[in-house]
Structure 1
Amino acid sequence: MKRRVHSKEVKQAAVDRLRQRGVTIEGIAEIVFRMQSPYSQELTIEDCVESVIAVLEKREMQHAILVGVELDLLAEKNQLSEPLQSLVQSDEGLFGCDETLALGSVFGYGSIAVTTFGYLDKHKIGLIKKLDTKKDGPVHTFLDDLVASIAAAASSRLAHRIRDREEAEETQAKKETSA
């Protein structure tokens, strides 16, 4: 009989995999802060942490993390068949499946998330740069792109929430001045 996996178990496994690979919520939040702070003076790192946690609640993101990290781990152990083993282990520039998996996870967060992901994939800031491994050592072919997708989704989520907050404040101010 096939086992039905509870969503809490999936979320915990995804967060554990990130942590085991050296990725923290705070490390991702720092990227989010760098991406969003130019647009909001009131933004705090705590806002960014909260947004990253909210993104990690999404099943699509959890599933992408589990699949991507598993492929990275299998490549480290030379357990993938060729030529996939060489493509993943070397983080072949034309491989593209790592970006495709990560990009699929941001589509629910709109165009801001998609363009932010593209920027982060190109510029590799913060933790993403540290994980981008094309030399000997741990394989993070999928992980660096997954971190970029989490940061991009959290950035987009924050951008929309900041705008909603500003509009609510404007509406409240108009009500107060007209009363």
Structure 2
Amino acid sequence: MDYSLNSEKVAHATEQCLMERGVTKDEIAELVMFLQRDYIPGLTKEKALHTVDQVLAKREVQNALLTGIQLDILAEQGKLMQPLQDMLQNDEPLYGCDEIMALSIVNVYGSIGFTNYGFIDKRKEGVLKRLNDKSSGQIHTFLDDLVGAIAAAASSKIAHGHQAELEEMKPGGALLQNIALTGENEAVKM
């Protein structure tokens, strides 16, 4: 039997896993709002949520989420080999694979995402605070970093879009935008 990936099933499984682990897209959008509130006046929750959806639609993001969540679940069930079991169960500070997987998400949207991710990872705002609470009995060694990375990536995407909008408003901005998009010097053609 030939293997054939069904993209809709992967996307649905990703959203289902997030819900089952108690994370809503609305909570991720709140993190986006937190990250961008000082930089983009008038940013709406709807725009943040729409951008979170766009980030979650990326296959790289879905792959990272499914993998990380599965590892967290296996750690909860005690099904990992030692010493990996203890490292994930205790969210070992020097175990960096969770951050590396999160950076694969952030990397999709450029370098500003790295700074957003570092900031939100240290602050542990909103849903990240809950995911880092070890008293719940759940293990979120990967999920907390992945959720932070989704918020950072969405924030980066919004920031890049905002910059493009600002440039379009400047005199000659549409011409500069066209040159950037086509890679041609439209001014020479005129």
The TM-score normalised by the length of structure 1 is 0.92
Conserved? CA contact 2:55–2:150, under 8 Å? yes
Between the aligned partners of 1:104 and 1:73, the Cα distance in structure 2 is: 21
1:89 maps to what in 2? 89
1:59 maps to what in 2? 59
Between the aligned partners of 2:2 and 2:77, the Cα distance in structure 1 is: 28
Conserved? CA contact 2:120–2:148, under 8 Å? yes
Q: 1:90 to 1:173 in 2, by over 3 A?
A: closer
Alignment of 1:1-179 (within 5 A): 1-135=1-135, 137-171=137-171
Deviations 1:29-66 (A, max 9, x none): 00000111111212101110011000001110000000
Q: 1:59 to 1:173 in 2, by over 3 A?
A: closer
Q: RMSD of the TM alignment (CA)?
A: 1.8
Identical columns (%)? 46
The letter for the 1-side match of 2:53 is I
Deviations 1:76-121 (A, max 9, x none): 1111111111111111111111111111121121111011111111
Q: 1:121 to 1:174 in 2, by over 3 A?
A: closer
Gaps of 5+ in 2: 176-190
Between the aligned partners of 1:173 and 1:133, the Cα distance in structure 2 is: 47
Conserved? CA contact 1:91–1:134, under 8 Å? no
Between the aligned partners of 1:98 and 1:133, the Cα distance in structure 2 is: 16
The letter for the 1-side match of 2:105 is S
Conserved? CA contact 1:48–1:154, under 8 Å? yes
The letter for the 2-side match of 1:105 is I
Structure whose CA Rg is larger? 2
Higher mean C-alpha displacement, 105-114 vs 139-148: 105-114
Gaps of 5+ in 1: none
The letter for the 1-side match of 2:121 is D
Between the aligned partners of 1:93 and 1:134, the Cα distance in structure 2 is: 14
The letter for the 2-side match of 1:14 is T
Q: 1:173 to 1:158 in 2, by over 3 A?
A: closer
Between the aligned partners of 1:19 and 1:147, the Cα distance in structure 2 is: 12
Between the aligned partners of 2:169 and 2:4, the Cα distance in structure 1 is: 45
The letter for the 2-side match of 1:35 is L
Higher mean C-alpha displacement, 58-67 vs 106-115: 106-115
Q: 1:173 to 1:167 in 2, by over 3 A?
A: closer
Conserved? CA contact 1:65–1:143, under 8 Å? yes
Deviations 1:12-40 (A, max 9, x none): 11111001101111100000001111112
Between the aligned partners of 2:86 and 2:2, the Cα distance in structure 1 is: 33
Between the aligned partners of 1:125 and 1:55, the Cα distance in structure 2 is: 20
Runs of 4+ with deviation above 2 angstroms: 133-136, 169-175
